[in-house]
Amino acid sequence: MDIADQILYEDNHLIALNKLPGQIVQADKTGDTCLADMVKAFLKCRDSKPGNVFCGVIHRLDRPVSGVVIFAKTGKALSRMNELVKSRDFHKSYLAVVKTPPPQPQGHLEDYLLRNEKQNKSFVVSDSRKGEAKLAVLDYRLLSTSSGGWHLLEIDLHTGRHHQIRCQLAHMGCPIKGDLKYGAPRSNPDGSISLHSYCVSFTHPVRHELVRIVAPSPWTIFGPIPSPDIPSIPESVNL
């Protein structure tokens, strides 16, 4: 897919893409071409820009995850967006498909997660190890159940820990479809996991207007998905 087909939102300061499973946001040890470099090349070609093009990484998604990812087109926008993320004024909602229904239709999870760098995996730890771990907080609600018995959850993420949603849902007994690392019995054919960054909302770093960017659900078996329970943005702000 051409980068132009993945653009969800763009202005002079920011560009948001609908990331595909398998794409990496930022360069890593694999050496594979990352989205940040693809955006740079795209902007340089489309806008006939001389010299280097700026593309700042504001946040990341795991390689097998799809959905909204936002880049800064200027250093000022990157600095201000980083402050929003740090102050938790950068709100993210996800969709996840699980086979086991959650214990309650909606709930609030608070766990302490410890990251194992060697395994590239996070674990929920007991009170005795809290000093080494980081608090992870999210809310979930059951949106829909398919005729095949799959359950669609909406996740509101309040902290941004390593593999947080994957780890916390698995600890609750609801591993994400295709996520072998966290207990799913089978992988997805394309190597993805059924976790999608559905909506990101924040105050624009320059215009100071509320921006909401949505990447439509990739799973049509669940039918129409209700809008996230967050304020809407003025129509004039949409791309």
Kindly report, residue by residue over 14-45, the tens digit of the pLDDT. 999 999 999 999 988 888 999 999 999 999 99
**If you search the block for the tokens 């051409």, which residue do you land on?**
2
Residue 230, Cβ neighbours under 10 Å: how many? Answer: 14
Is the separation of the CB atoms in 77 and 96 below 8 Å?
no
The yes-or-no verdict on residue 239 having pLDDT over 60 is no
Active-site residue identified among 5, 37, 62, 190: 62
Q: What pLDDT was estimated at residue 227? A: 66
The yes-or-no verdict on residue 234 having pLDDT over 90 is no
d(CA 192, CA 175): 14
d(CA 136, CA 133): 9
Residue type, 195: L
Mean pLDDT of the chain: 91
Encoded tokens for 15: 């560009």
Q: What pLDDT was estimated at residue 80? A: 95
**Is 62 an active-site residue?**
yes
The yes-or-no verdict on residue 204 having pLDDT over 70 is yes
pLDDT tens profile 124-166 = 998 766 778 999 999 999 999 999 999 999 999 999 999 999 9
d(CA 171, CA 165): 10
Residue 124 exposure: Cα atoms within 13 Å on the Cβ side = 16
